[in-house]
Amino acid sequence: MSWDKHFTGREEKRLPVMIEVKLAPAENASAERHEQARVENISGRGARLHASGPWQLGERVEITPIQGEGPLQGEVIYCQKLKDNRFVVGVKFRRNPSLSSMVQELKGKVR
């Protein structure tokens, strides 16, 4: 068992990145409810985002980078309120052919 999986429960190591994305419901990504969010880290299986509003567990969402690849779809697996009335949102990705290329592209943007 790898150290990362043993101590974090994660199958894959996450890449620390800070990129701006559009976060919206997957059912109707053009709906009024969308916001600009910031990805904190990402892997082939999921991402952690900073958002201005709460998202419901199990909600299907679409994450679209401001620049680069097309949208990714996933499911909200946690949403925690921070002290400054912002939220951190964990998203588990649905398998997507463009996901691998997006993660590879983001490796070049790691800060």
3-state secondary structure of 14: coil
Q: Is residue 7 part of a domain?
A: no
What is the domain count for the chain? 1
Mean pLDDT value of segment 59-87:
90
Tens-digit pLDDT profile for residues 20-59: 999 999 986 556 778 999 999 988 888 999 999 999 999 9
CA distance 37 to 56: 16
Tens-digit pLDDT profile for residues 84-111: 999 999 999 876 545 556 665 555 544 4
Q: Is residue 6 part of a domain?
A: no
CA distance 86 to 88: 7
Looking at residue 33, which CATH number applies to its domain? Answer: 2.40.10.220
The predicted model scores a pTM of: 0.75
Is pLDDT of 17 > 80? no
Q: Is residue 9 part of a domain?
A: no
